[in-house]
Amino acid sequence: MAVLLLDPRFPDVMPFSVAKMEGTKVAYTAEVPISVRWALCDTFPTARDEEAELLITTDLSVEQVRKWLAAGHELFQVPTAKFKYPEVTDAAEVMAQARKRGEWEAGQTHTSLLPYLKEETEEFIEAVESGASDEEIKKELSDIFLQVLFHAQIASERGAFDLGDVAHAFTEKMHSRAPYLFDGSTGRVTTEFQDKLWQDGKKQEQRQEQEPDQDPEVPSAETVGKTTTTSTSTSTSSKFVSGNRTASDTAEKKSADATARASEKDAE
Protein backbone atom coordinates (compact mmCIF):
# COMPACT_ATOMS: atom_id res chain seq x y z
CA MET A 1 0.00 0.00 0.00
CA ALA A 2 1.20 3.50 -0.77
CA VAL A 3 0.31 7.19 -0.98
CA LEU A 4 0.80 9.10 -4.24
CA LEU A 5 1.30 12.85 -3.82
CA LEU A 6 0.41 14.86 -6.94
CA ASP A 7 1.45 18.44 -7.57
CA PRO A 8 -1.74 20.53 -7.01
CA ARG A 9 -0.57 22.88 -9.76
CA PHE A 10 -0.23 20.02 -12.26
CA PRO A 11 -2.49 17.23 -10.98
CA ASP A 12 -2.49 15.46 -14.35
CA VAL A 13 1.27 14.81 -14.14
CA MET A 14 2.03 11.29 -12.94
CA PRO A 15 5.37 9.65 -12.07
CA PHE A 16 6.41 6.92 -14.51
CA SER A 17 6.60 4.37 -11.70
CA VAL A 18 2.82 4.53 -11.28
CA ALA A 19 2.33 3.05 -14.75
CA LYS A 20 3.66 -0.24 -13.40
CA MET A 21 0.83 -0.32 -10.84
CA GLU A 22 -1.95 -0.85 -13.40
CA GLY A 23 -4.98 -2.53 -11.88
CA THR A 24 -4.23 -1.31 -8.37
CA LYS A 25 -7.31 -0.26 -6.41
CA VAL A 26 -7.15 3.43 -5.57
CA ALA A 27 -8.87 5.93 -3.30
CA TYR A 28 -8.71 9.71 -3.59
CA THR A 29 -8.75 12.52 -1.07
CA ALA A 30 -11.56 15.02 -1.57
CA GLU A 31 -9.51 17.77 -3.22
CA VAL A 32 -8.20 15.65 -6.12
CA PRO A 33 -9.86 17.01 -9.32
CA ILE A 34 -12.58 14.89 -10.90
CA SER A 35 -10.70 15.12 -14.21
CA VAL A 36 -7.86 13.12 -12.67
CA ARG A 37 -10.24 10.45 -11.42
CA TRP A 38 -11.88 10.13 -14.83
CA ALA A 39 -8.49 9.87 -16.55
CA LEU A 40 -7.40 7.06 -14.24
CA CYS A 41 -10.62 5.11 -13.78
CA ASP A 42 -9.94 2.68 -16.65
CA THR A 43 -6.43 1.90 -15.39
CA PHE A 44 -6.94 2.12 -11.64
CA PRO A 45 -10.32 0.93 -10.31
CA THR A 46 -11.72 3.17 -7.59
CA ALA A 47 -12.23 1.60 -4.18
CA ARG A 48 -13.25 2.61 -0.69
CA ASP A 49 -10.46 3.74 1.59
CA GLU A 50 -10.34 0.50 3.57
CA GLU A 51 -10.10 -1.56 0.36
CA ALA A 52 -7.70 0.67 -1.56
CA GLU A 53 -4.05 -0.19 -2.15
CA LEU A 54 -3.09 3.30 -3.32
CA LEU A 55 -4.26 6.65 -1.95
CA ILE A 56 -3.94 9.58 -4.37
CA THR A 57 -3.78 13.11 -2.94
CA THR A 58 -2.44 16.62 -3.50
CA ASP A 59 -2.28 17.49 0.20
CA LEU A 60 -0.19 15.68 2.82
CA SER A 61 -1.99 17.48 5.65
CA VAL A 62 -5.29 15.67 5.03
CA GLU A 63 -6.10 13.43 8.01
CA GLN A 64 -6.75 10.45 5.74
CA VAL A 65 -3.25 10.81 4.27
CA ARG A 66 -1.64 11.26 7.68
CA LYS A 67 -3.20 7.99 8.86
CA TRP A 68 -1.85 6.09 5.87
CA LEU A 69 1.64 7.48 6.34
CA ALA A 70 1.52 6.88 10.10
CA ALA A 71 0.69 3.25 9.32
CA GLY A 72 4.00 3.00 7.49
CA HIS A 73 2.73 3.07 3.90
CA GLU A 74 5.23 4.23 1.27
CA LEU A 75 5.03 7.74 -0.18
CA PHE A 76 5.46 8.37 -3.91
CA GLN A 77 5.46 11.90 -5.22
CA VAL A 78 5.67 13.73 -8.51
CA PRO A 79 9.07 15.49 -8.61
CA THR A 80 7.46 18.90 -9.11
CA ALA A 81 5.37 18.39 -5.96
CA LYS A 82 8.53 18.93 -3.95
CA PHE A 83 8.78 22.48 -5.27
CA LYS A 84 5.74 24.08 -3.69
CA TYR A 85 7.45 27.45 -3.85
CA PRO A 86 9.23 27.78 -7.24
CA GLU A 87 10.04 31.38 -6.30
CA VAL A 88 12.64 30.00 -3.89
CA THR A 89 14.40 28.22 -6.74
CA ASP A 90 14.23 31.41 -8.80
CA ALA A 91 15.76 33.39 -5.94
CA ALA A 92 18.66 30.94 -5.62
CA GLU A 93 19.32 31.17 -9.36
CA VAL A 94 19.29 34.97 -9.23
CA MET A 95 21.86 34.90 -6.44
CA ALA A 96 24.05 32.49 -8.40
CA GLN A 97 24.01 34.86 -11.38
CA ALA A 98 24.76 37.83 -9.12
CA ARG A 99 27.87 36.07 -7.84
CA LYS A 100 29.01 35.31 -11.38
CA ARG A 101 28.42 38.75 -12.90
CA GLY A 102 28.68 41.24 -10.07
CA GLU A 103 32.19 42.24 -9.04
CA TRP A 104 31.04 43.29 -5.58
CA GLU A 105 29.07 40.09 -4.99
CA ALA A 106 31.94 37.94 -6.24
CA GLY A 107 34.28 39.53 -3.74
CA GLN A 108 32.19 38.83 -0.65
CA THR A 109 32.90 36.17 1.98
CA HIS A 110 31.00 34.85 4.99
CA THR A 111 33.00 37.24 7.14
CA SER A 112 32.57 40.35 4.99
CA LEU A 113 28.79 39.82 4.90
CA LEU A 114 28.33 39.66 8.67
CA PRO A 115 27.77 43.44 9.12
CA TYR A 116 24.97 43.30 6.53
CA LEU A 117 23.31 40.36 8.26
CA LYS A 118 23.45 42.22 11.55
CA GLU A 119 22.05 45.38 9.97
CA GLU A 120 19.17 43.59 8.24
CA THR A 121 18.29 41.70 11.42
CA GLU A 122 18.21 44.92 13.43
CA GLU A 123 15.99 46.56 10.81
CA PHE A 124 13.58 43.63 10.97
CA ILE A 125 13.42 43.85 14.75
CA GLU A 126 12.77 47.58 14.53
CA ALA A 127 9.98 47.03 11.99
CA VAL A 128 8.23 44.50 14.21
CA GLU A 129 8.60 46.54 17.40
CA SER A 130 7.33 49.70 15.68
CA GLY A 131 4.19 47.98 14.42
CA ALA A 132 5.17 48.13 10.74
CA SER A 133 2.74 46.95 8.06
CA ASP A 134 2.78 43.41 6.72
CA GLU A 135 4.27 44.72 3.48
CA GLU A 136 7.15 46.36 5.35
CA ILE A 137 7.78 43.24 7.43
CA LYS A 138 7.79 41.14 4.25
CA LYS A 139 10.38 43.48 2.74
CA GLU A 140 12.62 43.24 5.79
CA LEU A 141 12.34 39.45 5.79
CA SER A 142 13.34 39.39 2.13
CA ASP A 143 16.48 41.31 3.06
CA ILE A 144 17.34 38.65 5.64
CA PHE A 145 16.53 35.95 3.10
CA LEU A 146 18.99 37.60 0.72
CA GLN A 147 21.69 37.05 3.31
CA VAL A 148 20.75 33.37 3.64
CA LEU A 149 20.90 33.00 -0.14
CA PHE A 150 24.25 34.80 -0.26
CA HIS A 151 25.91 32.60 2.37
CA ALA A 152 24.46 29.41 0.86
CA GLN A 153 25.73 30.36 -2.60
CA ILE A 154 29.23 31.10 -1.29
CA ALA A 155 29.28 27.70 0.42
CA SER A 156 27.94 26.00 -2.71
CA GLU A 157 30.77 27.40 -4.81
CA ARG A 158 33.36 25.73 -2.60
CA GLY A 159 31.40 22.46 -2.60
CA ALA A 160 30.36 22.64 1.06
CA PHE A 161 26.55 22.90 0.93
CA ASP A 162 23.77 24.76 -0.88
CA LEU A 163 20.37 26.26 -0.06
CA GLY A 164 18.69 22.86 -0.29
CA ASP A 165 21.12 21.47 2.25
CA VAL A 166 20.33 24.35 4.60
CA ALA A 167 16.60 23.60 4.32
CA HIS A 168 17.28 19.88 4.81
CA ALA A 169 19.33 20.60 7.94
CA PHE A 170 16.35 22.48 9.38
CA THR A 171 13.97 19.59 8.65
CA GLU A 172 16.38 17.05 10.10
CA LYS A 173 16.71 19.12 13.25
CA MET A 174 12.93 19.27 13.61
CA HIS A 175 12.72 15.49 13.18
CA SER A 176 14.95 15.22 16.25
CA ARG A 177 13.61 18.11 18.30
CA ALA A 178 9.90 18.00 17.41
CA PRO A 179 9.06 14.44 16.28
CA TYR A 180 5.32 15.02 16.79
CA LEU A 181 5.37 17.01 13.54
CA PHE A 182 6.16 13.82 11.61
CA ASP A 183 4.51 10.94 13.49
CA GLY A 184 0.97 11.47 12.20
CA SER A 185 -0.36 12.76 15.52
CA THR A 186 -2.64 15.80 15.73
CA GLY A 187 -3.62 18.35 18.34
CA ARG A 188 -1.92 21.21 20.14
CA VAL A 189 1.33 20.42 21.94
CA THR A 190 2.07 22.06 25.28
CA THR A 191 5.18 24.09 25.96
CA GLU A 192 6.28 21.61 28.64
CA PHE A 193 5.99 18.71 26.19
CA GLN A 194 7.88 20.66 23.52
CA ASP A 195 10.68 21.51 25.92
CA LYS A 196 11.00 17.88 27.01
CA LEU A 197 11.30 16.64 23.43
CA TRP A 198 13.57 19.52 22.43
CA GLN A 199 16.05 18.80 25.19
CA ASP A 200 15.87 15.03 24.60
CA GLY A 201 16.56 15.59 20.91
CA LYS A 202 19.47 17.89 21.67
CA LYS A 203 21.05 15.33 24.01
CA GLN A 204 20.63 12.59 21.42
CA GLU A 205 22.29 14.77 18.77
CA GLN A 206 25.20 15.42 21.10
CA ARG A 207 25.59 11.69 21.73
CA GLN A 208 25.55 11.07 17.98
CA GLU A 209 28.28 13.64 17.45
CA GLN A 210 30.41 11.87 20.05
CA GLU A 211 29.54 8.40 18.71
CA PRO A 212 28.86 8.94 14.97
CA ASP A 213 28.76 5.24 14.09
CA GLN A 214 25.59 4.61 16.09
CA ASP A 215 22.12 5.18 14.65
CA PRO A 216 20.17 8.07 16.19
CA GLU A 217 17.22 7.25 18.40
CA VAL A 218 14.78 10.07 17.81
CA PRO A 219 12.44 10.55 20.78
CA SER A 220 8.80 10.08 19.90
CA ALA A 221 5.63 11.52 21.27
CA GLU A 222 4.69 8.08 22.57
CA THR A 223 7.79 7.80 24.73
CA VAL A 224 7.01 11.03 26.53
CA GLY A 225 3.25 10.62 26.82
CA LYS A 226 0.51 10.67 24.20
CA THR A 227 -2.00 12.46 26.36
CA THR A 228 -0.07 15.70 26.38
CA THR A 229 -0.35 16.07 22.60
CA THR A 230 -4.04 16.87 22.90
CA SER A 231 -3.77 19.24 25.81
CA THR A 232 -5.13 22.73 25.46
CA SER A 233 -2.34 25.26 25.53
CA THR A 234 -2.27 28.53 27.37
CA SER A 235 -1.40 31.76 25.64
CA THR A 236 2.26 31.17 26.41
CA SER A 237 2.22 27.61 25.06
CA SER A 238 1.57 28.95 21.57
CA LYS A 239 5.15 30.15 21.51
CA PHE A 240 7.29 27.64 19.66
CA VAL A 241 10.51 28.48 21.47
CA SER A 242 10.73 28.97 25.20
CA GLY A 243 13.09 31.34 26.92
CA ASN A 244 15.36 28.55 28.12
CA ARG A 245 15.56 27.05 24.66
CA THR A 246 16.29 30.42 23.10
CA ALA A 247 19.16 31.06 25.46
CA SER A 248 20.58 27.60 24.84
CA ASP A 249 20.32 27.85 21.07
CA THR A 250 21.82 31.35 21.11
CA ALA A 251 24.89 29.89 22.76
CA GLU A 252 25.00 27.18 20.10
CA LYS A 253 24.72 29.80 17.37
CA LYS A 254 27.58 31.88 18.79
CA SER A 255 29.76 28.79 18.86
CA ALA A 256 28.80 27.92 15.28
CA ASP A 257 29.49 31.51 14.14
CA ALA A 258 32.95 31.41 15.70
CA THR A 259 33.71 28.15 13.91
CA ALA A 260 32.43 29.57 10.61
CA ARG A 261 34.61 32.68 10.94
CA ALA A 262 37.66 30.55 11.70
CA SER A 263 36.95 28.38 8.67
CA GLU A 264 36.51 31.45 6.48
CA LYS A 265 39.88 32.85 7.53
CA ASP A 266 41.50 29.53 6.69
CA ALA A 267 39.79 29.54 3.27
CA GLU A 268 41.01 33.06 2.56
Residue at 73 is within a domain: yes
Say whether both 64 and 78 belong to one domain.
Answer: yes
Say whether both 115 and 199 belong to one domain.
Answer: yes
Say whether both 165 and 211 belong to one domain.
Answer: yes
Residue at 76 is within a domain: yes
Q: What is the pLDDT of residue 36?
A: 87
Residue 125 is part of which domain span?
Answer: 86-242
Residue 123 contacts residue 137 (beta carbons within 8 Å): no
Lowest mean pLDDT among 100-104, 184-188, 218-222, 238-242: 238-242
Among the candidates 26, 54, 82, a domain finishes at 82
Burial of 102 (0-12, 13-18, 19+ CB in 10 A): exposed
Give 111-122 pLDDT, tens digit per residue.
999 999 999 999
Say whether both 27 and 50 belong to one domain.
Answer: yes
Say whether both 23 and 105 belong to one domain.
Answer: no
Number of domains in the chain: 2
Residue at 258 is within a domain: no
Give 55-74 pLDDT, tens digit per residue.
999 888 889 998 898 888 88
Query: How far apart are alpha carbons 140 and 15 in whole angstroms?
Result: 39
Say whether both 58 and 181 belong to one domain.
Answer: no
Say whether both 15 and 126 belong to one domain.
Answer: no
